[in-house]
Amino acid sequence: MSATRRQILSRTGASVAGIAFTGALSELFTGTATALSGRRGGYGPLVPDPDGLLDLPAGFRYKVLSRTGDPLRSGEGLVPSNHDGMGAFAGRRGRVHLVRNHENRVTGKIAVPTVPGLTYDPGGKGGCTALELDGRADVLGERVAIAGTAVNCAGGPTPWNTWLTCEETEDRAGTNGYTKDHGFVFEVDGADPHRTGAVPLTAMGRFQHEAVAVDPASGIVYETEDAFEHPFGLFHRFLPNKPLGGTGSLRAGGALEAMRVPGVPDLSVIQETGARFDGIEWVPVPDPLATSTSIRHQDFGPRGITHAQKLEGCYWGGRAVYFVSSFARAKDGSAATHFGQVWRYEPHKRRLTLVVVFGPDTDVRLPGESPDNICLAPTGGLMVCEDGNGAQHVFGVREDGEVYAVARGAQNIGTPEAPEWGEFAGVTFSPDGSTMYVNCYTPARPSR
């Protein structure tokens, strides 16, 4: 995610950062995860929230879980800034563990507090916090899960119920106050953070990570790269030496590869929904640690490699991995311009398909551009967080490409004449599928 698109929400007194909402969620979707189907037209129109926070369909309700700047229940400090990617995991006695990223850079934010045994680099301001919820979504605990990392953007859950948090930076030790190199993936156990500690999974590559998705059958990890300048990022896969081995298996190393779509050097040129490419190739990354050259600049041979601007959300569903190109702009160096794509890669068929094309948004109060974080609903239907201009939504997406709004941010952080709304991030579901959780990325601080 580009820092230039972040909204600084300092013009309102609200300070909401994490929200849970529930209702007739089982009726919002039909079919199975493999079908990626959602109820046609969604679940009716969104109803304006009288409290001005979150518009939902009739019959749904929400609860605020956490606010930036409030004290952590652990007493370790304040709830950090910039709530981004998030995962939900089953706990004991019906409890839920939420692990939440904080995409803090080097200045101007509330840092994740440093905690002994959980801090990678004291110069890093990012990391994760973990919330423990009971069956009614009441918060029982909130604590630091990892600290000292940088620009923790998105990530993804593992089949063994840990969270992979991703650093969206390539900054090295000695820059921006850092004492260690950054650009890695870290594993986090929301129930017992000290079990995983703060160990970079270096074999998974050092680049501007965005999100990951794990194939539960093979253990292969798919990774998106959100590079900010041309040449843009790559879609990677990591082949672990010890797949599906539980916590610690990813530390055993493996091989990193990048996707090549034959004849397509830039995914932005593909703009027709349903476009399909067979025979997808995977090319070994010459230097995964990017010791002298960023991975996307490295030599992948005479046939090159496939790039895409704004590779962001990534999620496993059924027998496929879904990933997002949030937008592409020819003026930035992309081969073409679009307002958002969702792609599906089926490993067993070596097939890549363009599932959804977004935008453009002609009315700032209507949906239409810049998909970002994504997840699959438990009963089918892809959930997409919007991160563009105008109104901000969580969308449902059907396999036939129909897009419908599930939630809309109601906080106007601009003015009546020039309204603005902050983005959603970290959409995920409770293990039983009854509750959706979502973050407001940059909550406002009260005026002083």
Q: Give CA–CA dist 289/32, Å, rounded.
A: 39
* pLDDT above 90 as % of the chain: 65
For residue 225, which of 314, 102, 140 has the smallest C-alpha distance?
314
Q: Mean pLDDT lowest for which of 103-117, 158-172, 178-192?
A: 103-117
Q: How confident is the model at residue 342 (pLDDT cuts 50, 70, 90)?
A: confident
Q: Mean pLDDT lowest for which of 12-16, 78-82, 91-95, 176-180?
A: 12-16
CB atoms within 10 A of CB 138: 11
Q: What is the pLDDT of residues 26-47, one digit of tens each?
A: 333 322 222 223 345 567 889 9
For residue 297, which of 225, 231, 204, 224 has the smallest C-alpha distance?
231
Q: How confident is the model at residue 21 (pLDDT cuts 50, 70, 90)?
A: low
Who wins on pLDDT, 369 or 211? 211
For residue 438, which of 393, 389, 390, 380 has the smallest C-alpha distance?
393
Q: Mean pLDDT lowest for which of 68-82, 287-301, 342-356, 416-430?
A: 416-430
Please name every residue paired with 119 in a beta bridge, in sequence order, or none if there are none.
147
Report all structural domains of the chain as residue ranges with CATH numbers, in order of start.
12-440 (2.120.10.30)
Give the β-pairing of 403-409 and 54-57.
antiparallel
Give the tokens for residue 161: 């119920």
pLDDT reading at 322 higher than 50: yes
Q: Give CA–CA dist 429/432, Å, rounded.
A: 8
Q: What is the pLDDT of residues 373-426, one digit of tens each?
A: 888 877 677 888 877 777 888 988 766 667 778 899 888 877 888 888 878 899
Q: How confident is the model at residue 181 (pLDDT cuts 50, 70, 90)?
A: very high
Q: How many CA atoms lie within 13 A of 183 on its CB side?
A: 21
Buried b (16+ CB within 10 A) or exposed e, 12-43: bebbbbbbbbbbebeebbeeebebbbbbeebb
